[in-house]
Amino acid sequence: MSLPKPAHMRRRFLLALPLLALAACGFEPVYGPGGAGTALQNRVLVDAPEDRFGYFLVREVESRLGRAATPRWGLALTTTTTEDGLAIDSEGNTRRYNLLGTTSYALRDLDSGQIVTSGKVESFTGYSATGTTVATRAAELDAQERLMVILADLVVSRLYAADLPQ
């Protein structure tokens, strides 16, 4: 006759099961020993921005990775944006815009000059043009900044997922 296991033991086993699965798949915490977060934190020199979009993108990337005092990596970012009118009223006025952005990135080892990882990320955001000229311009500027935040998050996530040499 086997005795039933107490409920708290079953619960502990069920909570530990996902951790065992992650350990078996090679999961490694970003900020753990040897993780990409540790390798990148305060060690990436982002190339100087060339325009307003680039400024906001660099600012957001540096806020996530820190500013490099002694850089090991260099990061090149190239961003392109386009704007599409979405909602057009019966008089032909565009009432809503979609702002589309693409950022290509390349992380290079500053010692060797070799590209370690590169790629491209894309996203979009929108804004309304139904208010005054000032309100529409404010909404447009806000959408531009939001798009750069999204693109920076995507770039940094890809860098964290990269297999960086130690």
Structure tokens that stand for 16 in this block: 């530990």
pLDDT tens, position by position, 89-137: 888 888 889 999 999 999 999 999 999 999 999 999 999 998 899 999 9
Strands 94-109 and 115-128: antiparallel
Token digits for 87? 């909602």
Alpha-carbon distances of 33 from 36, 37, 39, 107, rounded to whole Å: 9, 9, 9, 21
Whole-model pTM: value is 0.78
Residue count of the chain, please give it: 166
pLDDT in tens, 1-31: 555 556 666 666 666 656 655 555 555 666 5
Q: Express each pLDDT in 35-78 by its tens digit.
A: 566 778 899 999 999 999 999 999 999 999 999 889 999 999 99
What are the CA-CA distances from residue 68 to residues 63, 114, 148 (Å)?
11, 19, 21
